[in-house]
């Protein structure tokens, strides 16, 4: 009889461990195209841990892909492109969206949205309570905590907190004046929902920048944040 009791308790321990493990699985979110992304909780916010790569708004309306430089620069409508029009790394680096696409408020999956400047600030304060928003460079430490620890994203050698947040930012670059692709491997630039704003991370340092009122044709990466 004693032996049977011991066996019963052994099974319960295994099942309990398995159940706990299942609760700790990485959060996921899926866009209208069916792409699935990892998500991570940072403080009270839940962020995508990958760059958005949808080609449709969350109501199913296709977003035009503009490859030609002049068409990109002169367009006044939502658009996206792949860096250098190369789809080989689409899953890894995501797409670049102009601010007309961001302003539709339908770019992110249902229940998620493009972050505001206020939400960028909340993220940075969670990682670096000493962030100073009156400066061009908001924080000299939060960048390393946000940046992926893969080799292509250069880190300050003195940093011991690489990707501590799980945000996994990568230097996907942007599409700038004249439809030119630039800053790949140098900058991670995430578009914001208000005033054509952005949060930028420099690959070669731990600094973070907040900017407002970029030209609407600028193509940037997008990270969605979950609705409250």
Q: Kindly report, residue by residue over 146-172, the tens digit of the pLDDT.
A: 999 875 655 554 555 689 999 999 999
Q: What is the pLDDT of residue 161?
A: 64
pLDDT at 1: 44
d(CA 128, CA 141): 7
The confidence band for 48, taking pLDDT boundaries of 50, 70 and 90, is: very high
Q: Is the pLDDT of residue 6 over 50?
A: no
Q: Residue 175 class from Cβ within 10 Å (0-12 exposed, 13-18 middle, 19+ buried)? A: buried
Range of lowest pLDDT (80-94, 143-157, 179-193): 143-157
Mean confidence (pLDDT) of the chain? 86
Contact 95, 55 (CB under 8 A): yes
pLDDT, residue 26, reads 60
Contact 126, 42 (CB under 8 A): yes
- Among the residue ranges 116-125, 142-151, 214-223, the one predicted with the least confidence is 142-151
Report how far residue 227's alpha carbon sits from residue 223's, in angstroms, rounded to the nearest whole number.
Answer: 13
Report the candidate in 194, 193, 195 with the shortest Cα–Cα distance to residue 222: 193
Q: What is the pLDDT of residue 134?
A: 80
Instruction: Please give the residue that has the higher pLDDT: either 205 or 38.
Output: 38
Task: Tell me the two tokens of residue 149.
Answer: 């620890």
Candidates 102, 83, 104, 115; CA nearest to 179 is 83
DSSP element (H, E) containing 191: strand 187-191
Mean pLDDT of 57-75: 96
The mean per-residue pLDDT over the stretch 94-110 comes to 98
**What does the pLDDT read at residue 53?**
98
Exposure string over 210-220, b if 16+ CB within 10 A, otherwise e = beeebeebbbb
Whether the pLDDT of residue 203 is over 90: the answer is no
On the question of pLDDT at 19 being above 70, the answer is no
Phi, psi of 92 (to 5 degrees): -75, -45
> What percent of the chain shows pLDDT beyond 70?
84
Mean pLDDT of 20-34: 70
Backbone angles phi, psi at 48, to 5 degrees: -60, 140
Instruction: Report the C-alpha gap between 93 and 144 in whole angstroms.
Output: 18
The mean per-residue pLDDT over the stretch 101-117 comes to: 98
Query: If you average pLDDT over residues 78-82, what whole number do you get?
Result: 98
Select the highest-mean-pLDDT range: 11-15, 108-112, 200-204: 108-112
Q: What is the pTM of this model?
A: 0.86
Question: Does residue 215 contact residue 90 with C-beta atoms inside 8 Å?
Answer: no
């Amino acid at each position: 009889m004693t032996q049977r009791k011991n066996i019963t308790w052994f099974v319960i321990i295994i099942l309990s461990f398995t159940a706990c493990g299942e609760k700790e699985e990485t959060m996921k979110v899926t866009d209208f195209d069916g792409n699935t992304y990892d998500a991570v909780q940072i403080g009270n916010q839940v962020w995508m841990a990958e760059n958005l790569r949808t080609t449709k708004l969350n109501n199913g309306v296709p977003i035009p892909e503009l490859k030609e430089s002049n068409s990109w620069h002169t367009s006044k409508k939502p658009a996206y492109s792949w860096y250098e029009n190369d789809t080989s790394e689409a899953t890894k680096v995501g797409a670049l969206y102009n601010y007309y696409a961001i302003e539709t408020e339908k770019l992110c999956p249902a229940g998620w949205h493009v972050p505001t400047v206020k939400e960028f600030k909340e993220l940075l304060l969670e990682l670096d309570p000493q962030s100073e928003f009156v400066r061009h460079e908001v924080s000299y430490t939060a960048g390393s905590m946000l940046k992926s620890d893969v080799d292509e994203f250069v880190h300050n050698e003195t940093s011991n907190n690489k990707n501590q947040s799980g945000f996994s930012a990568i230097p996907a670059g942007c599409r700038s004046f004249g439809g030119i692709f630039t800053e790949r491997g140098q900058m991670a630039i995430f578009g914001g929902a208000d005033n054509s704003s952005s949060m930028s991370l420099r690959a070669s340092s731990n600094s973070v920048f907040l900017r407002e009122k970029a030209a609407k044709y600028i193509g940037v990466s997008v990270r969605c944040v979950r609705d409250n």
